[in-house]
Chain A
Amino acid sequence: AQSVTQLDSHVSVSEGTPVLLRCNYSSSYSPSLFWYVQHPNKGLQLLLKYTSAATLVKGINGFEAEFKKSETSFHLTKPSAHMSDAAEYFCVVSSYGQNFVFGPGTRLSVLP
């Protein structure tokens, strides 16, 4: 069985400060992990993905995530938040032969 926990339902940061969105996963198989972003009233866009290559994954818009198997974590970070980063972020786990399992989401607010 697979599951995803996003430890914060809402994160608020000031513009220009670092962003940390936390994700822990459970998977019986070697996982693929994804972060998707959803801006208000929009579809989901892929930020980055881990598929058993490098453990530090760089994505679009300055985001990156590190796969830590020992901690079963895949936290999303960005050095400096921008107003346009305000959105809902979803962590997703999957593996070969298994469907996507989404976390409940973290809403990121960016204050001026």
Chain B
Amino acid sequence: DAGITQSPRYKITETGRQVTLMCHQTWSHSYMFWYRQDLGHGLRLIYYSAAADITDKGEVPDGYVVSRSKTENFPLTLESATRSQTSVYFCASSETGNYNEQFFGPGTRLTVL
């Protein structure tokens, strides 16, 4: 089915471990985004990508790495997880730019022990 998917949906890991969250979209949208959602903060932008091989930092990029070798995939890596990175992570995509409608995935709930 067309849409935007995230995997895993739930992840528990330990401090210091590397974790990769996957995001895949089937619309061929140019723009993709990673957000984290924490109580009282709404969603905050971690990284975004305007096209394959083009990425840029958002509001809270520290501790995260992204890549985009293919238009449809936008993985987010926590190189050395910390407890403060416990959060719900949402991937989103947009056809025409970061000022127009974004379509969101179902989210990944990450717990760092």
Contacts and interface: CB of A to CB of B under 8 A. Distances in A.
Given A32-B100, A43-B105, A94-B98, A102 B44 contact: yes
A102 B42 contact: yes
Interface residues of B, dominant DSSP: loop
Contacts of B45: 99-100
A26 to B, nearest CB: 15
Contacts of A97: 98-99
Task: Assign chain B's interface to a size class.
Answer: 20 to 34
Task: Assign chain A's interface to a size class.
Answer: 20 to 34
A102 B106 contact: no
Interface in A65-88: none
Interface string B83-113: 0000000101000011111111111000000
26 contacts: A32-B99, A34-B101, A36-B104, A42-B107, A43-B90, A43-B106, A43-B107, A44-B43, A44-B92, A45-B104, A46-B101, A46-B103, A49-B101, A51-B100, A90-B42, A94-B98, A97-B99, A98-B98, A98-B99, A99-B48, A99-B98, A100-B43, A102-B35, A104-B40, A104-B41, A105-B42
